[in-house]
Structure 1
Amino acid sequence: MTTIGIDDMALATAHHVVDLADLAAAAGVDPAKYRVGLGQDRFAFPAPDEDVVTMGAAAALPIVERHGAAGIRTLLFATESGVDQSKSAGLFVHGLLGLPPQMRVVELKQACYGGTAALQAAIGIVSRNPSERVLVVASDVARYELDSPGEPTQGAGAVAMLVAADPRLVEIEPVSGLSSAHVDDFWRPNDSSTAVVDGALSMSAYLSALTSAWDDFAAHGGAGIDEIDRFAFHQPFTKMARKALRRLATHTGAALDDVLQEATFAYNRELGNTYAASLYAGIAALLDGDDDLADRRIGLFSYGSGAVGELFTGVVRPGYDRVLRPGAVPDALAARVPLGLAEYRALHAVQHPSDVDLTTPSVTKAPFRFAGLRGRARQYERTA
């Protein structure tokens, strides 16, 4: 049987970073409310010439440079921060990367679950023709109203994955547990740049989707709870993963204290919520931070408000550590430019109507930038 999964992956983030200690000071609260209560330290924030396209292209670039485009006949772009109501953000990435025209390019959306929808679709494509590879890009910007409860959980980032047969990083096993329900816990209206959130309902819906998906996973012959060595969860904030593990332990009657590794939190604590990329940033952090993963099975839970949950497993391949690029993500996180509160608030308030031409200031040091609007069309360019 052909194994299929993640052959390579890379992460990109935004130019700026906001320290939650500064946000706490401005709000007059103890920084521990964010650092302990939420499990977050900082969040990434885009420069005026950055968006999901520029971050997604930056994440995908090293993969294309390492592997070339041969055999990549599909690009799937997952986001809930799309830049156009019709055109796929993936087509902008396709052009920026100079990919061949003989490709299908599609954008997928279901809140934070979109990255997993793209991954599973990619696996289906490769299973039909194992000589093909699929480029999956999950990229998002989480924005909430200033001074709202959601503000400290903002974030920005992108993860790109090359999905292929006989993968070098993580083999995705075939059984999935699924759960869907219509829940008004989180949404973003078409006329709003920020999301509407019912925080308590969202946490409840997340945990309900987790147990429902686990039951479906078990009913379809998935690995037993004692056969799973690690867990990685979608992290709207890292403390949510701890809540999820406790709920799963209670639900299954298993002792799971050792299967949720601190390593999965490392990047998310710095990025904030990256929506469709969040689970995969956690996987990237686990692969980079745990030196004993070969042949280990990881339980993966993806959640998207509204609400869709999926629980599935992946087995880390021997030699995975030879594919990784130690230090690449920490270096990128360290290179971000801090934003003071006044500057952050000013950037947060900026809105660009689509019917006015715009030239953005050149700020980002990333490989690609959003150059502005011309005749209501978005313009992108390489920075070098």
Structure 2
Amino acid sequence: MKKNPQNRVGIDDMALYIPQLYLSIEVLAKERGIPFEKLSKGLGLDKIAIPDAHEDAATMAANAAAEIIERNQLNPKDIGRIYLGTESALDGAKPTATYVLEMLRRKYKKQYGVDCFQNCDVVDLTFACVGGVDALQNTLDWVRGNPDRIGIVIASDIAKYELASTGEYTQGAGAIAMLIKQNPRLLVIEDTIGVATQGVHDFFKPKRSFSKEALIEEILQLADIKDISATDILAKLPDSLEIHSILGENDQSLYLHKDTPIFDGPYSNQTYQNRIREALLDFRKKRVAINELTEEESILKHWSRMIFHLPYAAHGRRIASEIFMDDLKLSGDWAAFAQENELLMPQKEAFEQQDAYEKAYGLFLRSITKTGLYKAFVKEKLYQAEATSAQVGNMYACSIFLALMGTLEADYLEGNELGNKKLGCIGYGSGSKSKVFEVNVQPGWRAVVEQFNIHKKLATRQEIDYATYETLHRLQRSNSVQAAITGFKLDRVSDEPLRKGARYYSWRTGEQD
């Protein structure tokens, strides 16, 4: 099948927004009694990007979008859509993208008119950490239909875990905006996408219910009040359908949505590994069907770099061993490799218990990572993405795009030539789904990447101590940590009856908070 050269679509430019605050992993490790080397060398962690009190997924997304608009001198009236991939939504019905749109409209209304974004389509897409890839794929298909279409895709998230949980040290935050056009300067993306989906509960953020009676009983116990019961208190509530208080809600139970997830780390690693393997096989099958790959051809050798969703910096190198093995098998090189490295794959039928087999298989995959060929594979194709991820932490839907930007900037700074090279991108979202796609780096990529300024953005941040981190995590601060703010800021959340929960923002240019 021949490709239409006039119908090439992809990413023309990318912009990264990172919160100006960070917590050192060394500080957190000391506070939690965890050996720093375990997090630094084992997981590749160094710093956690921490949102200030005035920041949320909407402000970060708007800041990234504004950089794209201004650097490319875009007229907002020419932007046909702004699609947001996030799992940090601010409302159960109103898309977070509408807050982004309104912030941008207010910022640019004097220059382009009050209705400058009136005909722009916006929506949120949510599928854990792969929502940004979904937004990208959707917008690529839309842009492919008309050369005049221009879209912006944003991934924006705050990766927040409970204090002292096993996910706490992988936290992070930020947003990445991408300009999507035909004939892009940076990356062309073909429409072949490998997909694998399965409904599982490895990581999720459900509505959690708490009965009024249980809440009152807990308060009475804490206050050591014994002369009245929860039932007595509930009986005193007004017999009215009108809602005047929290306990006056009509439901018997109160529902709470938390930004922190319920998660099973080992199980999530397993589902990640399974889905990316299945999606990669689906990608191969589709490429073979259109004669762009042979049955025996190595897809990993086809890619100059591999871009993974990185929950932590070293995750790519730790998770890629199975697809590395599969690729060697397909290309006919596995038998010699296994013999040379004395690798013996455990056979499932030799184990009475599934857990015992899975443990043995995990150790087997780990032994692959210790071989010289695998280490060379990591050095050639994976390591470029790790340095930036280590300085920011997990960004959920942004993570794969941070790995992409970090790789491009690392190669730019090292003087490597990526023009006309192909990069393999492997996304994953818990719940669970993986998408695999290929990007073709354009000859003029260096002129775009030199404007990323990732290293400069990382170098100008403000370190905070543990006490400040905890107050931000607990949402105990009303004032920002930063002395002066440049960018979008959450001003207030309404408490008015017909606007309760509505959020209001402003643009600041270095003013004191």
* Normalised TM-score (structure 2): 0.71
Letter of the 1:242 partner, please give it: R
Q: What is the match of residue 116 of structure 1?
A: 133
Alignment partner of 2:70: what SS? helix
Distance, in Å, in 2 between the alignment partners of 1:5 and 1:327 is 17
Distance, in Å, in 2 between the alignment partners of 1:292 and 1:87 is 44
Distance, in Å, in 1 between the alignment partners of 2:287 and 2:179 is 27
1:236 paired with 2:329, answer no
Aligned with 1:279 (options 397, 400, 405):
400
Deviation at 1:245, TM superposition (A): 2.3
Distance, in Å, in 2 between the alignment partners of 1:280 and 1:17 is 20
Aligned with 1:177 (options 190, 194, 197):
194
> 2:19, 2:50 within 8 Å by CA — same for their partners in 1?
yes
Distance, in Å, in 2 between the alignment partners of 1:327 and 1:308 is 29
Q: What is the match of residue 55 of structure 1?
A: 60
> 2:18, 2:174 within 8 Å by CA — same for their partners in 1?
yes
> 2:185, 2:442 within 8 Å by CA — same for their partners in 1?
yes
Map 1:295-310; keep pairs closer than 5 Å: 295-310=420-435
Aligned with 1:202 (options 260, 268, 271):
268
Distance, in Å, in 2 between the alignment partners of 1:140 and 1:195 is 13
Distance, in Å, in 2 between the alignment partners of 1:329 and 1:361 is 23
> 2:170, 2:394 within 8 Å by CA — same for their partners in 1?
yes
Alignment partner of 2:287: what SS? coil
Alignment partner of 2:401: what SS? helix
> 2:489, 2:506 within 8 Å by CA — same for their partners in 1?
yes
Q: What is the match of residue 117 of structure 2?
A: 100
Map 1:116-265; keep pairs closer than 5 Å: 116-190=133-207, 191-221=257-287, 223=293, 224-225=298-299, 226-253=301-328, 257=377, 258-265=379-386
> 2:77, 2:119 within 8 Å by CA — same for their partners in 1?
no
Map 1:331-350; keep pairs closer than 5 Å: 331-350=456-475
Q: What is the match of residue 488 of structure 2?
A: 368
Distance, in Å, in 2 between the alignment partners of 1:49 and 1:247 is 42
Distance, in Å, in 2 between the alignment partners of 1:244 and 1:300 is 14
Deviation at 1:197, TM superposition (A): 1.1
Distance, in Å, in 2 between the alignment partners of 1:247 and 1:294 is 29
Residue segments in structure 2 that go unaligned for 5+ positions in a row: 106-115, 208-256, 332-372
Question: Percent identity between the aligned chains?
Answer: 33
Taking a change above 3 Å as real, the CA distance of residues 366 and 304 of structure 1, as seen in their structure-2 partners, is: farther
Letter of the 2:283 partner, please give it: F
Alignment partner of 1:267: what SS? helix
Distance, in Å, in 2 between the alignment partners of 1:250 and 1:261 is 16
Letter of the 1:249 partner, please give it: F
List per-residue Cα deviations over 1:299-350 (Å, max 9, x = no partner): 0000000001011100100011111235722222122211111111121112
Alignment partner of 1:112: what SS? coil
Distance, in Å, in 1 between the alignment partners of 2:493 and 2:314 is 39
1:74 paired with 2:199, answer no
Taking a change above 3 Å as real, the CA distance of residues 70 and 316 of structure 1, as seen in their structure-2 partners, is: farther
> 1:360, 1:372 within 8 Å by CA — same for their partners in 2?
no
List per-residue Cα deviations over 1:127-172 (Å, max 9, x = no partner): 1112101100100000101111100000001100001100111111
Distance, in Å, in 2 between the alignment partners of 1:340 and 1:251 is 45
Q: What is the match of residue 26 of structure 1?
A: 31
Distance, in Å, in 2 between the alignment partners of 1:272 and 1:100 is 33
Letter of the 1:138 partner, please give it: A
Runs of 4+ residues over 6 Å off in structure 1: none
Deviation at 1:361, TM superposition (A): 4.5
Greater shift, 250-259 or 299-308, is seen at 250-259
Q: What is the match of residue 367 of structure 2?
A: none
Alignment partner of 2:175: what SS? strand
Distance, in Å, in 2 between the alignment partners of 1:109 and 1:282 is 20
Deviation at 1:362, TM superposition (A): 7.6
Distance, in Å, in 2 between the alignment partners of 1:339 and 1:196 is 27
Distance, in Å, in 1 between the alignment partners of 2:117 and 2:481 is 28
Letter of the 1:26 partner, please give it: E
> 1:370, 1:378 within 8 Å by CA — same for their partners in 2?
yes
List per-residue Cα deviations over 1:193-225 (Å, max 9, x = no partner): 211110000000000001100111111116551
> 2:16, 2:452 within 8 Å by CA — same for their partners in 1?
no
Q: What is the match of residue 321 of structure 1?
A: 446
Q: What is the match of residue 391 of structure 2?
A: 270
List per-residue Cα deviations over 1:111-137 (Å, max 9, x = no partner): 000000000001111111121011001
Specify which structure has the higher proportion of helix.
2
Specify which structure has the higher proportion of strand.
1
Letter of the 2:461 partner, please give it: R
Distance, in Å, in 1 between the alignment partners of 2:140 and 2:466 is 43
Taking a change above 3 Å as real, the CA distance of residues 189 and 27 of structure 1, as seen in their structure-2 partners, is: same
List per-residue Cα deviations over 1:238-285 (Å, max 9, x = no partner): 221112322211121176615423221122111100000000011111
Alignment partner of 1:164: what SS? strand
Give the length in aligned residue pairs: 378
Distance, in Å, in 1 between the alignment partners of 2:452 and 2:68 is 16
Distance, in Å, in 2 between the alignment partners of 1:366 and 1:300 is 33
Residue segments in structure 1 that go unaligned for 5+ positions in a row: 353-358
> 2:314, 2:386 within 8 Å by CA — same for their partners in 1?
no
Taking a change above 3 Å as real, the CA distance of residues 349 and 310 of structure 1, as seen in their structure-2 partners, is: same
> 1:231, 1:259 within 8 Å by CA — same for their partners in 2?
no
> 2:14, 2:452 within 8 Å by CA — same for their partners in 1?
no
> 1:266, 1:282 within 8 Å by CA — same for their partners in 2?
no
Alignment partner of 2:457: what SS? helix
Q: What is the match of residue 356 of structure 1?
A: none
Q: What is the match of residue 355 of structure 1?
A: none
Distance, in Å, in 1 between the alignment partners of 2:34 and 2:427 is 31
Deviation at 1:66, TM superposition (A): 2.5
Larger radius of gyration: 2
Distance, in Å, in 2 between the alignment partners of 1:81 and 1:366 is 22
Q: Cα RMSD (Å) of the superposition?
A: 1.7
